[in-house]
Structure 1
Amino acid sequence: MFIGRERELNALEKVYSKDSFGMTIIYGRRRIGKSFLITEFLKGKKAIFYTATKVGAGRNLELFARQVLEVLDPDYLDATFSSVEAVLDLITRKVSESAERLVLVIDELPYWAEKDEALLSILQKYIDTQWLDKNLMVILCGSSLSFMEKKVLSEKSPVFGRKDSQIRLEPFNYRDSALFVPNYSAEEKAICYGVTGGVAKYLSLFDPNKSLDENIKTQFFHTDGYLYDETRNLLTQEFSDVTLANNIIEQVAAGENALNVIALKIGEKESTVLYSLEKLMDVDLIEKKKCITEEKNKKKTQYVLKDHMFKFWYQFIPKAVSVIEMGQGDLYYDKIVKPQLHFFMGSVFEEMCRYYTLEQGILGSYGSFMTEVGTWWGVERLKDEDGKWYQQATDIDVVGISTIDKTAVIGECKFKKEKIDKGIYETLLGRARLINGKYAVTRFLLFSLSGFTDWFKETKPANTVLISVEDMYR
């Protein structure tokens, strides 16, 4: 069943509806649903869909030619082609002879283009000299983000300026992820999003007719579960030195987010770690987070796991391998993992709340047009009971800002069984001064899994918005 991606489908249909040549470039990390999106788009359309593999330029040409012949000239499947140009000449001729629009898809383009440096230049030549007036749409797709951005989309690319649109396919947001498990409670939908990271493939593994616990056990805590070995599989596909990448992710997952500390912990040079961190960012597993309102402060940056599934896996699976391999993964989940799910969800819930804040802020729900959302962290000066000043590290979970009128909203997020009380509100109120130097704080947002104490009903504090998890799914 195809779920979501309406904007992406509409963008593809817009290019397809042209009377002449059109091209779309699609890219995104593995398992995100690129091929599934293209397959859905191609329904009812005449198409050549070739997926390149790591077999070298010659073999890719051979397989590509066979795919072209199966669609355009099946009576000559045994024909051989000496060059890419010969195959593209056949496509050009067949498109010229037919009134029907043709879609040419080259999926996993980097596998082929990395082994044949002339491929993109050849495509550029045909676009410019043969295809501009043809009833042809081309889709170039790839999972290597760095290759697609540097070799296909950049100004140095031979095909630069030839595309009609580009789609960077991202994980589903928390609300669209819930469409995969429509009968779950709001809390269960949030946890489902947390353990899958909104990645299409992982969400599709969750049977909506089974409980959340059953799905997590089946996928993560059984040796035949798809997600039991998924992190290793992905790293093996992307990295020659899997051990180094694994060690770095372990440290980031454990909360170490500074380059020098990570390097020290794993016993590697900072330059070596930095190179691998950049590769991990290229494949969308790690991101470099900046402190909002202080983006130019290079000291205020953190490396964090972008992929929630990876965070879940590294937090729970390595310690459970022996138990899982003895067939007792279900017991481990019940005894160890389930009691910690709310704690694990803390950072996931904060990310959900930031998305909600920006979405509502764009719609003007907080009195101004929000343009950015992020996190703030730093040092807070406080007084102790004796009136003496002291400093402590602190952070603000949600900071939404309007660069237009220099206003901000700040928020606190609690994915816990306890209700948010007066003390949490007052703490957030006090932290407003940390932002006030640059932006005037106009709203205080409190996000809660378990609701709020009666104090809020009785007091009704000004400029305060109370938001439940259920509200976030409405």
Structure 2
Amino acid sequence: MSKKNISGRKDELLILERVLLSPEPEFMVIYGRRRVGKTWLVREFFGEMICFELTGMHKASLEEQLTNFAQSLAKATGITVELKRPSSWSEAFSQLERFLESSFQRKNGKKQVLFLDELPWLNTPRSKFLSALEHFWNSFGSRQRNLILIVCGSAASWMLQHIVRAKGGLHNRLTRQIRLLPFTLPETEEFLLKRGIKLTRYQIVELSMAMGGVPFYLMQAEPGLSAAQIIDRVCFSPTGLLRHEYEKLYASLFDESELHMTIVALLSKKRSGLTRNEILTFAKITTGGRLTHILEELEESGFIESRIPFGKKGQDSLYWLADEFTLFYFSWIKPLGKKKVDAGYWLSRQSDPARNAWAGFAFETVCLKHVRALKAALGIAMVETSEGPWRYQPTGESSLPGVLIDLLLDRRDASINLCEMKFSQSEFTIDDAYAKKLRQKITVFREVTGTRKNIFLTMVTTYGITDNAWSQELHPDNLTLDALF
């Protein structure tokens, strides 16, 4: 077991340590989006305890998957000649049982890890892979006290449907589960420092706004470069990892990825989010059931999130784009098409008004993922809250203007934090026009909702707010980007 090279992942490491110390057989699932570090985490933590590893092949036939199994088994047994391909998954798992029995004898009762990676790809049509896995675990694996079976997959919705919420032979067989998410900002900071990359927190936020906290993306960063230089190389150079990542990302996760990409494209243009009915209309999807399935797949994979607006119920949820890289792609990479750009393209856009518009949206996206940190900075970490947006669209003869509030913290102590997120390269200045807009938001919110709760205005900015007449009048809670760490 090795933990020294693992950044962040404190909660996940606790789960893995419990698995390792368990006196019972363990069957655990790890799922999360592509490139988030599932495979690396398992290999780094368990190391030589992995006695057999099999990785599914994308869009391969049953015969190709079984050949892959035979090669993996030969490697695990140390045989230099290729083993005969099993005729079915049932036969493959029988071979695996015999191998594990001999391995348990050789290892003298030590823990053994069986690692099946990219499980959805192994389950090809009519292959009966799942039924063979069920039989293997129920008849053999669940009786081996020293066996740890770990299954991984990037197709989060498939993993939930067929493993986590399985209704057949695997029903209630899981002992642990981990949904691996991208790094938070403090985890990103730790990850970069371990790789010798020293950036200011402002630049770490800037990097996260373009790439998110996806470890594999962050691995492309090099020491001695600024965040803007890293983004230039990774996103805009012809050989940059993320220049052509978007299509691969969705196609590798979803069988019919066109609709998934249509929905995220819609959400990339709607900062305020869209309701389910709005998505149904704009995406021209004819069946509600199909949309439900696609939204679940996107949400479980971390590309979108649903939030229940203040005072509304679940069916009124707003969906918003939560993946920073997808937002960056639609804002900057997609408009270029196949056009080649000169080195320093992103560096030359630092004062571009379009960059400021994107940065505002991207910073909000980052902040919304760190609500727990914001609550701690406000001193209300232990106060029960419900978090969500609020929007008012005037109808009929209403004299009130339309209002969008990105984040409300509705607190159990009869208070509400109305949060505004602003990204800037220096202190943010509240001027007369913006002060009027803030007062308007508070007034409209009070009148429409009829709330009697105390309302605290909370500003989340990069470097704080300028001390002037308007900031003194509004007197907001003032959180800087350090609060996000």
Q: Is the TM value for this pair above 0.5? A: yes
After superposition, the CA RMSD in angstroms is 3.5
Once the two structures are superposed, the pairs formed by residues 310-325 of structure 1 within 5 Å of their partners are 310-324=326-340
2:72 corresponds to: 67
Q: Does 1:343 align with 2:357?
A: yes
Q: Secondary structure at the match of 2:27?
A: strand
Q: 2:158 aligns with which of 147, 155, 159?
A: 147
**2:461 aligns to what?**
448
How far off its partner does 1:318 sit?
2.4
Distance 1:453 1:332, change over 3 A: closer
Cα distance, 1:434–1:209 mapped onto 2, change above 3 Å: farther
Cα deviation per residue 1:260-315 (whole Å; 9 max; x = unaligned)? Answer: 6666666665769837555544544333443133134x3x4333222111111111
1:189 aligned onto 2:204: yes
1:124 aligned to 2:134?
Answer: yes
Q: Contact 1:259 / 1:273 at 8 angstroms: preserved in 2?
A: no
Structure 1 residues 468, 282: CA separation in 2 closer, same or farther (over 3 Å shift)? closer
* Letter of the structure 2 residue corresponding to residue 6 of structure 1: K
Q: Distance in 2 between matches of 1:434 and 1:32?
A: 44
Aligned residue in 1 for 2:309? 291
Structure 1 residues 125 and 272: alpha-carbon distance in aligned structure 2, compared to 1, 3 A threshold = closer
- Counterpart Cα distance in 1 of 2:463 and 2:421: 11
Q: Provide the C-alpha distance between the structure 1 equivalents of 2:378 and 2:99, rounded to a whole number of angstroms.
A: 50
What residue number does 1:10 align with? 14
Equivalent residue in structure 1 for 2:63, among 26, 46, 58: 58
CA distance 1:169–1:321, shift in 2 (3 Å) = same
- Contact kept, 8 Å, 2:118 with 2:153, in 1: the verdict is yes
Structure 1 residue runs without a partner (length 5+): 382-387
CA distance in 2, matches of 1:165, 1:223: 42
Contact 1:415 1:448 in 2 (8 A): yes
Task: Quickly say closer, same or farther: Cα 1:126–1:430, change in 2 above 3 A.
Answer: same
Matched, 1:22 2:34: no
Q: Is the 8 A contact 2:236 2:345 kept in 1?
A: no
* 8 A contact 2:308–2:317 mirrored in 1: yes
Indicate conservation of the 8 Å contact 1:363/1:369, yes or no.
no
- Normalising by the residue count of structure 2, what TM-score does the alignment of the two structures yield? 0.82
**Cα offset for 1:51?**
0.5
Q: Does 1:414 align with 2:419?
A: no
Could you tell me which amino acid in structure 2 is paired with residue 292 of structure 1? F
Percent identity among equivalent residues?
22
Q: Which structure's relative contact order is higher, taking Cα pairs within 8 Å and 6+ residues apart? A: 2
Give, in whole Å, the separation in 2 of the partners of 1:62 and 1:389.
68
- Give the SS at the match of 1:43: helix
Aligned residues: 461
Shift of 1:152: 0.7
How far apart are the structure 1 equivalents of 2:265 and 2:483? 34
Residue 109 of structure 1: aligned partner: 119
Tell me, yes or no, if structure 1 residue 33 matches structure 2 residue 48.
no
| Match in the other structure for 2:93 | 85
1:21-58 CA-to-partner distances (Å, cap 9, x unmatched) read 11210111111111111121122424312111132333
- Contact 1:206 / 1:215 at 8 angstroms: preserved in 2? yes
Corresponding residue number in structure 2 for 1:384 = none
| TM-score computed with the length of structure 1 as normaliser | 0.84
Q: Which amino acid aligns with 2:15?
A: A
Alignment-derived partner of residue 224 in structure 1: 239
With over 3 angstroms needed to count, the CA separation of the structure-2 counterparts of 1:367 and 1:378, relative to structure 1, is same
Residue ranges of structure 2 left out of the alignment (5+ in a row): none
Counterpart in the other structure of 2:216: 201
Question: 1:361 offset after TM fit, Å?
Answer: 3.3
| Contact 2:31–2:159 under 8 Å retained in 1 | yes
Match of 1:385 in 2: none
- 2:344 partner letter: D
